A and B are shown apart, each in its own frame.
Chain A
Amino acid sequence: MTTVTGSVARRPDTVWSEHVSFIDRIPRSIGMAGILIAFIALWQLVHALGIVSPIILPGPRETGADIVFVAKNLLSGGYMLDAMWITIKEVIFGFLIALTIGFLLGVLVGEFAFGERAVLPYLVAIDTMPKVAFAPLFLAWLGFGISSKVALAAFIATFPIVVGTAAGLHAADENARMLFRTMGASRLQTLFKMKLPLGLPQMFTGLKIAAVGVMAGAITGEFLGGGKGFGELIRVAASQLNTPRVFSLIIFLSLLGLALFWFVVWLERRLVYWHKSSTGGAASA
């Protein structure tokens, strides 16, 4: 060869690259599918060996058949769809109420010294209580209809939004505050043109926690206060020892929760397009 540089001939086999282990090179979709298959296989194994009673843990096949049954009922507009629709309404109303109250309280606590000194201690005190314990109160006040579930869902979801909003309003650094003061900005201008936009990433962190909490609130309300929602279906199925049904209802319920969560993530990407974490994919969620 004539292309030898120096005295050492460079052969291709001397090229080295950073070692990435086999397991880290598996693509995400294949990895996730593999985990699911392994889980179902283990489940089937436990079921086939008869380690656990089928009443407590039904096999994957029975559960799968029931998922198909529930899906058919939902798609054909059966009674389950009515129940789901009630839960959806509770979740949406609960979320909207939590958003409104949480945002306003967050601004009160985050923007005004009075709010931070006089209101925040009470919010912290209430936030440390197990909020589910308030469910009987809401039932007594609002009855067994949809409103008591909405109230509990909103109650649980409000606090993360308050915390996220208040923390977001503190996100602006000293320079940004000074800059706005030197420009002669009013308090409202400072809030809307600087503090709120800068605080959006934290506010969305609160919203994501609230999206999970609002589902938990609605279902807990239905467990404790009856009604005609999805939680009631689960409670009835469980009382009838219809474990496959409980499993399949939980799966559809989690789809509902995921839908709300992904809606918040979608909204975040639309509004906070300029922030790093909102362009970083699902890992940031």
Chain B
Amino acid sequence: MTAARRLATESAGPQTGRPVYELHGVAKSYARRSLHALQKIDLSLTEGSFSSVIGPSGCGKTTLLKIMAGLIPPSEGGVYLEETPVTGTRQDIGMMFQQATLFPWRTTLENIVLPIEIRDGKAAARAKHDEARALLELVGLKGFENQRPSELSGGMAQRAAICRMLITKPAVLLLDEPFSALDELSRDFMNMELQRICLERKATAFLITHSIPEAVILSDTVYVMSPRPGTFVETVHVDLPRPRTLDMMTDPKFGDYVRRIRARLDEGAFL
């Protein structure tokens, strides 16, 4: 299947691909605090798709992402990546946070190969330097290999964090508001860059966000989460062609999606 055809079929409907990551009836409660955080979440991420979850603060988005990353176990239900259960952290899950969390005593290149160094040692990490350079070129940071993180801007640091996430060739990318610490101009730009990188790598991605336009412009599917106990109350399939551009934000269809999500969020809000 050619890349163009592949893109065409995916934009036609996000349900066409092979499921990579699946949640079946995942719930999370903290008995000690008698807190019901998440309730009956079903989710299926198809290969090469981009999905977002949006919801009010404290609805359990981060808890969901931690369960998906294998950082905490669910109270009920199952988590499957490539048909094997997730029972702990795994190298085929890539994660990115609001902060780039680059280590200042390492050069950009050394930060990027850190996951390899942790897994296979320093020699293996050095052997990946060429691959890391290729990733730097992919994210537009060519020539910054030997810079220290303190010499990078916020957006550049997040680009380096993208490289670090991709170096292990993860099957799924979990993104926890990766650009929300950036100013709005950089944020829009980085979102378009993220789309480009995901399309080029045919990555399967799952994004947590507070921004409705960001969720719509990036995603094939947007899940709207209710306040605690969090669960998906609406699933919105975004039928806009790829690659998306910022101009599409003025498209009437885009406005319809935003309004629909906004209305669903307001319904559940405590005002």
Interface residues of A (CB under 8 A from B): 173, 175-176, 178-185, 189, 193-194, 197-198, 273-275
Across the two chains, which residue of chain A brings its CB closest to B88?
A184
Name which of A176, A179, A197 has the most chain B CB atoms within 10 A of its CB: A179
Nearest CB in chain A: distance from B92 CB, A = 11
Name which of A182, A197, A198, A274 has the most chain B CB atoms within 10 A of its CB: A182
Q: Are A274 and B148 in contact (CB under 8 A)?
A: yes
Across the two chains, which residue of chain B brings its CB closest to A275?
B104
Q: Are A178 and B118 in contact (CB under 8 A)?
A: no
Q: Are A180 and B71 in contact (CB under 8 A)?
A: no
Interface residue tally of chain B, by bracket?
Answer: 20 to 34
For this complex, 12 residue pairs linking A to B, each with C-beta atoms less than 8 Å apart, are A173-B101, A175-B98, A175-B99, A179-B101, A182-B69, A182-B95, A183-B114, A183-B115, A184-B89, A193-B117, A274-B104, A274-B150
Q: Are B97 and A184 in contact (CB under 8 A)?
A: no
Chain B neighbourhood of A179, CB < 8 A: 95, 97, 101
Q: How far is the CA of A185 from the CA of B90 in the complex (A)?
A: 10
Chain B neighbourhood of A176, CB < 8 A: 101, 103
Nearest CB in chain B: distance from A191 CB, A = 12
B24 contacts chain A at the CB level, 8 A cutoff = no
When A and B form their complex, which 9 residue pairs have the shortest distance between CB atoms, in order from nearest? Answer: A274-B104, A175-B101, A274-B105, A183-B115, A183-B118, A182-B95, A185-B118, A175-B97, A175-B99
Q: How far is the CA of A275 from the CA of B105 in the complex (A)?
A: 9
Across the two chains, which residue of chain A brings its CB closest to B99?
A175
Nearest CB in chain A: distance from B126 CB, A = 15
Q: Which of B99, B104, B119, B148 contacts A183 (CB 8 A)?
A: B119
Chain A neighbourhood of B45, CB < 8 A: none
Nearest CB in chain A: distance from B163 CB, A = 14
Known: A175-B97, A182-B95. 13 other contacts (CB 8 A): A175-B98, A175-B101, A176-B103, A178-B66, A178-B95, A179-B97, A179-B101, A182-B89, A183-B91, A183-B115, A184-B89, A185-B118, A274-B105
B93 contacts chain A at the CB level, 8 A cutoff = yes
B117-132 contacts to A (CB < 8 Å): 117-119
Across the two chains, which residue of chain B brings its CB closest to A274?
B104
Nearest CB in chain A: distance from B20 CB, A = 17
Chain B neighbourhood of A185, CB < 8 A: 118
Q: How far is the CA of A274 from the CA of B89 in the complex (A)?
A: 30
Q: Are B71 and A181 in contact (CB under 8 A)?
A: yes
Chain B neighbourhood of A273, CB < 8 A: 105
Chain B neighbourhood of A193, CB < 8 A: 114, 117-118
Nearest CB in chain A: distance from B150 CB, A = 7
The 0/1 profile, CB within 8 Å of A marked 1, for residues 113-153 of chain B is: 01101110000000000000000000000000000101000
Q: How far is the CA of A263 from the CA of B150 in the complex (A)?
A: 26
Interface residues of B (CB under 8 A from A): 66, 69-71, 89-91, 93, 95, 97-99, 101, 103-105, 114-115, 117-119, 148, 150
Q: Are B101 and A184 in contact (CB under 8 A)?
A: no
Chain B neighbourhood of A183, CB < 8 A: 89, 91, 114-115, 118-119
Q: Are A178 and B71 in contact (CB under 8 A)?
A: yes
Chain A neighbourhood of B148, CB < 8 A: 274
Nearest CB in chain A: distance from B202 CB, A = 22
Across the two chains, which residue of chain A brings its CB closest to B71?
A181
Chain B neighbourhood of A181, CB < 8 A: 71, 89
Q: How far is the CA of A181 from the CA of B93 in the complex (A)?
A: 11
Chain A neighbourhood of B99, CB < 8 A: 173, 175
Q: How far is the CA of A265 from the CA of B122 in the complex (A)?
A: 30
Across the two chains, which residue of chain B brings its CB closest to A197?
B105
Q: How far is the CA of A173 from the CA of B101 in the complex (A)?
A: 9
Q: Which of A178, A197, A198 contacts B97 (CB 8 A)?
A: A178
Q: How far is the CA of A180 from the CA of B71 in the complex (A)?
A: 11
Chain B neighbourhood of A198, CB < 8 A: 103
Name which of A194, A197, A274 has the most chain B CB atoms within 10 A of its CB: A274
Chain B neighbourhood of A274, CB < 8 A: 104-105, 148, 150
Q: How far is the CA of A185 from the CA of B88 in the complex (A)?
A: 12
Q: How far is the CA of A273 from the CA of B107 in the complex (A)?
A: 13
Chain B neighbourhood of A178, CB < 8 A: 66, 71, 95, 97
Q: Which of B89, B101, B118, B150 contacts A189 (CB 8 A)?
A: B118
Nearest CB in chain B: distance from A145 CB, A = 43
Chain A neighbourhood of B66, CB < 8 A: 178
Q: Which of A182, A184, A189, A194 contacts B103 (CB 8 A)?
A: A194
Q: Are A197 and B103 in contact (CB under 8 A)?
A: yes
Q: How far is the CA of A189 from the CA of B103 in the complex (A)?
A: 14
